[in-house]
Structures are given as C-alpha cells and as structure tokens.
Amino acid sequence: MAEPAKTDPYLLTALVCPVSGGVLALSADGGELVSHSARLAFPIRDGIPIMVASEARPLSEVEIAADKSRKAQGARKRQ
C-alpha cells in the first residue's frame, strides 16, 4: 500500500479553523487537523487539508475529555 501524501508543515502553521478561527493541531496519525475550540476534526486527503465544515467530523466525548486532561497537565507543569 502506498504511503499517504504528506502535508506541507508550513501550510499547517498558516491554517486556522474555518469555524472558530482557532488553532489547528495535527492528529496523532497525521490524517486530520483538529480544532479543539470548535470540537471538529478536518480530514486530510492526499496531503490536502479539507477545510470545509460539512466535511469535518465532530470530536467524540473521549477526545474532548483527553484534550481537557492534556490542558490540565500542561497548566500544572507551568506552575
């Protein structure tokens, strides 16, 4: 099976969530751009981010809880 096309890292730093205007994070598997503020995950197909709200999937409650936990741990480390 062919490896999926990689998305340009510079492009990823320039993109913002089209719903919230917030920061996007690359998913662990590299297949989605995640907007925690909008609670949506935008797919990346053939290396191209699909930044259309109707193409995004809602984050699951588990993903949202994991994000809150990650943020709480980061806040504790800064103290």
Per residue in 7-18, pLDDT tens?
A: 777 888 899 999
Does any domain span residue 26?
yes
Q: pLDDT by residue (tens digit) across 16-72?
A: 999 999 999 999 888 999 999 999 999 999 989 999 999 999 999 998 888 878 777
Structurally, the chain folds into a number of domains equal to 1
Residue 4 lies in a domain: no
Q: Which of 73, 15, 76 is nearest to 42 (CA)?
A: 15
Residue 16's CATH number: 2.20.25.10
Range of the structural domain that residue 50 is part of: 9-78
Tell me whether residue 31 is in a domain.
yes
Q: Looking at the domain assignment, is residue 3 inside a domain?
A: no
Would residue 1 count as lying in a domain?
Answer: no
